[in-house]
């Protein structure tokens, strides 16, 4: 008799767990598919004031408002904006949780998609958490420099991002999710510094400075219309090592016409790039570039 | 007659019950409890089933672009909005969790905005390690009021550099250094756990130096001292590795030059495991 009840209880508990999971999934999928539209409709609900009906929902509405506010805070301080977030719970029990997450977003102008699985085990008073799978896709003109670093993470399937996508080959699998985002943030900042500096000089000296590949690229060319055939090309690379170390690296390429070479008694063309490196060490990036530009502004 | 029978039967039953031992009473109590639990679970299950079905119908309606408020009873409409808001809340909580999992600072405003609390999550090779917390007082200048960062960590010097002028840079610098520290420390734990044959001779709180004693395989096993110096505290790999052994030919050998590179290029425990697998060390 007892056994019959015990069996029924166990069965009911399992059913309840399943139903709760099912409800969660369905609610999540509603938001995944129709999120934007629903948010619009619900915004009006949240903004309406008064009405007896609202009492029942006011707690929920307040919660949603608070969560939205908090999310804005996290996005701002973390420097990472998440546009998409799919969560799938593969296993949930008292002590263990296994989830798969797929995130898409951007860090400044750099787009990323990250798919990972995380396992959490509650052991006594400690929570053990580990990433068990990790796939990354990045997109953006700047990521040319990034590929060596991202190659340590496995490739994901071809995503629906546009053609400029840089697919990443599998080399190593270290599942270092946090390292990826820390590195992405710093990389994004260095790219932004470069872009601002390039843009600044192009605006200040429009006749002399050109950015043939745009302000988000690594190239800047300095050329004076009064000195045809002479050009100085600055390559501003941002190296990212396998360990996520970020090093901006500037190089100068000098070009002068053959006839002018005869007059180059001080071997400026040969040694120019080295001189530039010294200049960088002494004056820093902006002052060095300004200096170079001034030399052709006759 | 019935009354007497009832009376007699009732009396007999009472006697019977009284005759039942303690154990039997406990058993019947337990049975009662199980029965009640089963009943309440059944009710919960039924309610959940009802809710889950309602949500599925809702999803269907939304997919088919049907108007969400289609003349249902006012109560029904509230139910609907409740489900939608619940769905939205779930999505927001998922996003919060995502920020947390990717190593975000989990910034929390306290004391009506007068201070904020941030967390620094550390991880190495996919395993989440310690979380450090800090409270920053924002009343006049930015001040660190509380934290649980180890004292050996140069917190003050980082604060001096960036705390006032650029909070985000300060947080990032701390994040990077704390993660590197956690990574170096984890490597020491892992090598103790996985490569028992290697002895840790010297290590310190900041894990910026690691001296290991290995046993080199050969005709006669020889002791080799590997010193790993971590000059860059933002990194978890050493900047310098020196190999010392009484037998100079061993420490100068190509095999050990290779081992030296391994120790420079990969985490300590991984390098040692490789060295052991290759038969270089015990």
Neighboring chain A residues of B99 at a CB cutoff of 8 Å: 71, 74-75, 78, 80, 82
Contact: A15, B45; criterion CB under 8 Å = yes
| A77 compared with A225, residue with greater pLDDT | A77
In A26-95 the beta strands, taken as DSSP E runs, fall at 81-92
Neighboring chain A residues of B34 at a CB cutoff of 8 Å: 2, 5-6, 9
What percentage of chain A carries pLDDT values higher than 70?
Answer: 84
Neighboring chain B residues of A177 at a CB cutoff of 8 Å: 101-103, 123, 126
Distance CA(B95)–CA(A82), nearest Å, equals 7
ipTM of the predicted assembly exceeds 0.90: no
Task: Tell whether the model's pLDDT for residue A54 goes beyond 70.
Answer: no
Distance CA(B68)–CA(A41), nearest Å, equals 10
| A51 pLDDT tier (thresholds 50, 70, 90) | low
Distance CA(A164)–CA(A227), nearest Å, equals 36
| A214 compared with A49, residue with greater pLDDT | A214
What pLDDT does residue A160 have? 33
Radius of gyration over alpha carbons of chain B, in Å? Answer: 34
Distance CA(A96)–CA(A99), nearest Å, equals 10
| A273 pLDDT tier (thresholds 50, 70, 90) | confident
Q: Between A and B, how many residue pairs show a Cβ–Cβ distance under 8 A? A: 198
Neighboring chain B residues of A22 at a CB cutoff of 8 Å: 52
Annotated domain spans of chain A: 1-77, 80-184, 189-297
- Judge whether A79 and B168 are in contact, CB under 8 Å: yes
pTM above 0.90, yes or no: no
CB atoms < 10 A from the CB of B114, how many?
Answer: 10
The 10s digit of each residue's pLDDT in B14-72 is 777 776 667 777 788 888 888 898 999 999 999 889 888 888 888 887 777 766 555 44
Chain A 163-202, residues with CB within 8 Å of chain B CB atoms: 174-179, 181-182, 185-186
Distance CA(B146)–CA(A284), nearest Å, equals 37
B255 touches chain A (CB under 8 A): no
Instruction: Pick from A211-225, A259-273, B91-105 the range whose average pLDDT is largest.
Output: B91-105
Contact: A131, B126; criterion CB under 8 Å = yes
Q: How would you class B3 by CB atoms within 10 Å of its CB: exposed for 0-12, middle for 13-18, buried for 19 or more?
A: exposed
């Amino acid at each position: 008799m007892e056994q019959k009840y015990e069996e029924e209880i166990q069965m009911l508990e399992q059913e309840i767990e399943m139903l709760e999971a099912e409800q969660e999934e369905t609610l999540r999928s509603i938001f995944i598919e129709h999120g934007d539209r629903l948010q619009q409709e619900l915004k009006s609900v949240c903004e309406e004031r008064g009405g007896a009906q609202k009492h029942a929902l006011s707690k929920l509405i307040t919660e949603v408002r608070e969560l939205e506010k908090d999310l804005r805070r996290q996005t701002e301080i973390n420097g990472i904006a998440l546009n998409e977030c799919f969560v799938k719970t593969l296993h949930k029990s008292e002590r263990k949780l296994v989830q798969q997450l797929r995130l898409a977003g951007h860090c400044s102008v750099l787009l990323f998609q990250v798919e990972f699985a995380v396992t959490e085990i509650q052991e006594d008073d400690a929570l053990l958490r580990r990433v068990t799978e990790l796939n990354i896709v990045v997109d953006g003109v700047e990521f040319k420099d990034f590929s060596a670093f991202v190659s340590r993470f496995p490739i994901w399937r071809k995503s629906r991002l546009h053609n400029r996508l840089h697919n990443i080959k599998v080399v190593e699998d270290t599942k270092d999710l946090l390292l990826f985002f820390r590195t992405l943030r710093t990389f994004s900042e260095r790219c932004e510094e470069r872009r601002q500096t390039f843009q600044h000089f192009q605006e200040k000296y429009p006749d002399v400075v050109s950015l043939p590949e745009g302000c988000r690229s690594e190239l800047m060319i300095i050329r004076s219309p009064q000195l045809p055939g002479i050009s100085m090309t600055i390559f501003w690379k941002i190296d990212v090592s396998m360990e996520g170390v970020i090093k901006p690296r500037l190089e100068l390429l000098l070009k002068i016409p053959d006839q002018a070479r005869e007059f180059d008694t001080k071997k400026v063309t040969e040694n120019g790039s080295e001189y530039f490196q010294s200049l960088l060490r002494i004056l820093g990036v902006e002052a060095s570039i300004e200096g170079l530009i001034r030399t052709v502004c006759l | 007659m019935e009354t007497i029978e009832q009376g007699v039967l009732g009396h007999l039953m009472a006697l019977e019950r009284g005759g039942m031992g303690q154990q039997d009473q406990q058993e019947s109590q337990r049975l009662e409890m199980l029965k009640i639990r089963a009943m309440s679970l059944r009710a919960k299950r039924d309610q959940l089933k009802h809710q889950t079905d309602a949500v599925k119908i809702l999803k269907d309606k939304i997919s088919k672009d049907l108007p969400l408020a289609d003349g249902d009873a006012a109560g029904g409409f509230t139910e609907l909005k409740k489900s939608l808001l619940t769905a939205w809340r779930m999505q927001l909580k998922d996003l919060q969790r995502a920020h947390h999992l990717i190593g975000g600072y989990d910034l929390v405003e306290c004391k009506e905005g007068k201070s904020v609390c941030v967390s620094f999550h550390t991880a190495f090779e996919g395993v989440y390690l310690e979380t450090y917390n800090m409270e920053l007082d924002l009343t006049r200048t930015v001040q660190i009021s509380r934290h649980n960062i180890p004292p050996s960590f140069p917190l003050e010097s980082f604060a001096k550099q960036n705390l006032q002028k650029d909070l985000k840079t300060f947080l990032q610098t701390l994040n990077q250094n704390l993660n590197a520290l956690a990574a170096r420390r984890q490597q020491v734990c892992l090598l103790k756990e996985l490569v028992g044959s290697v002895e840790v001779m010297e290590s310190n709180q900041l894990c910026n130096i690691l001296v290991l004693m290995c046993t080199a395989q050969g005709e006669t096993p020889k002791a080799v001292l590997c010193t790993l110096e971590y000059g860059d505290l933002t990194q978890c790999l050493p900047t310098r590795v020196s190999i010392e052994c009484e037998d100079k030919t061993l420490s100068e050998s190509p095999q050990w030059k290779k081992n030296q590179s391994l120790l420079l290029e990969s985490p300590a425990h991984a390098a040692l495991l490789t060295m052991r697998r290759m038969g270089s060390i015990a």
